[in-house]
Amino acid sequence: MNIEIIIKGQVALAINSLYGQSVEPSQVQVQLTRSEFEGDQTVMVFPFLKISRKSPEATGMEIGEYLKANLAEISGYNVVKGFLNLSVDNQYWINGFNEALKDEQYGFVPVTDQSELVMIEYSSPNTNKPLHLGHIRNNLLGFSLAAVMKANGYKVFKTNIVNDRGIHICKSMVAWLKFGNGETPETYGKKGDHLVGEYYVKFDQQYKSEIAGLMAAGRSEEQAKEEAPSIIETREMLIKWEANDPEVRSLWHRMNGWVYAGFDETYKTMGVDFDKIYYESDTYTIGRDEVLRGVSEGIFQQESDGSVWANLENEGLDRKILLRSDGTSVYITQDIGTAQLRYRDYPIDHMIYVVGNEQIYHFQVLSLLLDKLGYKWGKDLFHFSYGMVELPNGRMKSREGTVVDADDLIAGMIDVARSVSLELGKLEGYTEIEKENIYRIVALGALKYFILKVDPKKTMTFNPEESIDFNGNTGPFIQYTYARIQSILRKAGETGIVIPAKAETGSLNDKERIILKSISLFPEVVQEAGKGHSPAIVANYVYDLVKEFNSFYHDYSILNEPDLTIRDFRLAMAQTVGKIIKNGFSLLGIEVPERM
């Protein structure tokens, strides 16, 4: 059992026995002892002073004496002010360490047939432009959250809703027809998503110049925006699309196909995947049907112009439009349809949407609407909202060309990883393919760790010149430690040392104790990350562990340790730290290299 829980229970008994008053174990505050004091676990005695009616020191001493006498795991205690520091017997840490050593899935709760199903929606791109840095945060968080939930014993289903229809999609199509000359990704030599994105930009340029021309001819800005030929053409195309016009549909299929091929490549490089992809072009009509059902049941109101509204004023929100006066769907209508379809397809217990925090209001509304429509899961949907990624001079703006493209960023980081690695020259003997794979692992490790170590809900700043480092608190630093551990284990194998299944040693030095204590925390960290929906907790924990291990590695020898018992124990310790790095990083979607 967890030492903290044992202590809480015993402290409650101690207070009952010493002062004749009962307290709940949950009221006992226990935390890790700060490193500058002696001990492992610290009990706060302040809350019990009213009960003991004695000084903090005296109370602490009495409780400490009781614990030492009644708990085999407690080998000693000291009291500093109101802090009762308990020393936990080495054997307790060693026992826990042996558990960690033999369990390959250490820290993970197994998924069973009884496990609840959690569906996680993430990524959810538009098909009119390539993925950028903001999408990267979304994808990494979504993928990582899925891994964390799975490690907490949930069945996890990853899904992606692709925004493949609408006026913005038609814009790229219009521009391609006008300027494209039949260009394809093959003829142009660029990924399809980039090609389509370029025509989206071209459309905007064309549209702007038309507006300027019209305004020069005396129109107001508003009029100009409405009357520009390209926007009129785009609207006509959207109507044709909705009417299933074969020519428009065929072009739409073709260009979206280019985009999907491009996205697939980016997803693959990033190492994220999905169990099922939904397309808005398939779900938006379902949403419309659901809204109309709501009208017939009196949940929603239809205005005389045909538009449909939900009144959420009783819930503290506004009136919200659900269908336009021409009967077409708006954004939220599509989400209603998608949700309905998903719950029809799968026995979902929990639904998580990984979507930026600018849509908090949207998901409040969606939750209420689904609830009104009679879905019991409406109220329980969880919007995992994360903060934006900003550049040093502010928010990314596609119109100002300050968007950090995902493919460019990743390619650039692989270049840096390659040149750093070549300079260090530690990969001789590896084939080019193997080397490239390691560059990729390291580059993505840097990017993923950089993004995932930050509390998801916070806005984060990304400086393209400075942010991605390979030294210090970074993914490569942790990967490097892993690689070194593997090197030690390889050498141990070469010299005929067999890492024992059981690694016992009576005495532990300070740094060994610290590492063993840290190892014992991993399962709690995984649990906490699941409850708090925060991969950052895992990232920061792994970093701390690695720091401790490196410090140990610097001060004490492993392979050259003459005492074989101690050497075997340290090998087992290194192996376990390596395992935690690997398991922890798997929760972040980061690979670990055997060498680097």
Q: Which residues ranging from 506 to 535 are in contact with RNA (CB under 7 A)? A: none
Among 286, 442, 508, 526, binds RNA (CB under 7 A): 442
CA–CA separation, 76 and 559 (whole Å)? 33
Instruction: Give the Cβ contact number of residue 129 at 10 Å.
Output: 22
Under 8 Å between Cβ of 29 and 74: no
Q: Does 560 bind RNA (CB under 7 A)?
A: yes
Judged by CB under 7 A, the stretch of 207-215, 257-265, 302-310, 403-411 that binds RNA is: 302-310
Q: Does 345 bind RNA (CB under 7 A)?
A: no
Q: What is the DSSP letter of 302?
A: E
Q: Does 160 bind RNA (CB under 7 A)?
A: no
Q: Does 473 bind RNA (CB under 7 A)?
A: yes
Residues in contact with RNA, total (CB under 7 A)?
Answer: 93
Q: Which is nearer to RNA, 156 or 454 (CB)?
A: 454
Q: Does 582 bind RNA (CB under 7 A)?
A: no
Site for RNA in 172-191 (CB under 7 A): none
Alpha-carbon Rg for the chain, nearest whole angstrom, is: 30
Among 16, 21, 22, 557, binds RNA (CB under 7 A): 557
Q: Which is nearer to RNA, 155 or 435 (CB)?
A: 435
Length of the chain: 596
Three-class DSSP category at 385: strand
Q: Does 480 bind RNA (CB under 7 A)?
A: yes
Q: What is the DSSP letter of 356?
A: E
Judged by CB under 7 A, the stretch of 106-114, 133-141, 162-170, 502-510 that binds RNA is: 162-170
Q: Does 550 bind RNA (CB under 7 A)?
A: yes
Q: Which is nearer to RNA, 117 or 321 (CB)?
A: 321
Q: Does 387 bind RNA (CB under 7 A)?
A: yes
Instruction: Give the Cβ contact number of residue 13 at 10 Å.
Output: 17
Among 25, 29, 98, 349, binds RNA (CB under 7 A): 29
Among 75, 90, 307, 437, binds RNA (CB under 7 A): 307
> CB of residue 496 vs RNA: minimum separation in angstroms?
15
Kindly give the residue spans of alpha helices, DSSP state H, lying in 118-188. 133-151, 167-179, 185-188
Q: Which is nearer to RNA, 29 or 269 (CB)?
A: 29
Six token digits for residue 566:
């101690």
Among 145, 483, 515, 590, binds RNA (CB under 7 A): 483
Which residue in this structure is represented by tokens 């074969």? 246
CA–CA separation, 407 and 414 (whole Å)? 11
> CB of residue 466 vs RNA: minimum separation in angstroms?
6
Among 324, 372, 513, 582, binds RNA (CB under 7 A): 324
Q: Does 195 bind RNA (CB under 7 A)?
A: no
> Measuring CA to CA, which residue among 399, 386, 571 is closest to residue 490?
571
Site for RNA in 254-283 (CB under 7 A): 280
Q: Does 565 bind RNA (CB under 7 A)?
A: no
Judged by CB under 7 A, the stretch of 206-214, 267-275, 288-296, 468-476 that binds RNA is: 468-476
Q: Which is nearer to RNA, 153 or 356 (CB)?
A: 356
CA distance readout (Å), 62 to 3, 42, 449, 530: 20, 14, 46, 38
Q: Does 66 bind RNA (CB under 7 A)?
A: no
Q: Which is nearer to RNA, 121 or 280 (CB)?
A: 280
> CB of residue 574 vs RNA: minimum separation in angstroms?
9
Among 52, 59, 126, 172, binds RNA (CB under 7 A): 126
The greatest distance separating any two alpha carbons of the chain, rounded to the nearest whole angstrom, comes to 94
Site for RNA in 485-504 (CB under 7 A): 486-488, 491
Instruction: Give the Cβ contact number of residue 271 at 10 Å.
Output: 16
> CB of residue 558 vs RNA: minimum separation in angstroms?
4
CA–CA separation, 128 and 53 (whole Å)? 71
SS (H, E, C) 227-242: HCHHHHHHHHHHHHHH
Q: Can you count the helices (H) and strands (E) in the chain?
A: 20, 15
Under 8 Å between Cβ of 348 and 119: yes
Among 19, 83, 252, 260, binds RNA (CB under 7 A): 83
Among 269, 437, 527, 540, binds RNA (CB under 7 A): 540
Q: Does 305 bind RNA (CB under 7 A)?
A: yes
Q: What is the DSSP letter of 376?
A: T
Under 8 Å between Cβ of 559 and 485: no
Q: Are strands 117-121 and 30-32 parallel, antiparallel or unpaired?
A: unpaired
Under 8 Å between Cβ of 157 and 115: no
CA distance readout (Å), 315 to 3, 310, 334, 337, 369: 45, 11, 22, 22, 11
> CB of residue 243 vs RNA: minimum separation in angstroms?
16
Rounded to the nearest 10 degrees, the angle between the axes of helix 510-531 and helix 535-555 is: 170
Q: Does 484 bind RNA (CB under 7 A)?
A: yes
Q: Does 59 bind RNA (CB under 7 A)?
A: no
Q: What is the DSSP letter of 109?
A: B
Q: Which is nearer to RNA, 348 or 592 (CB)?
A: 592
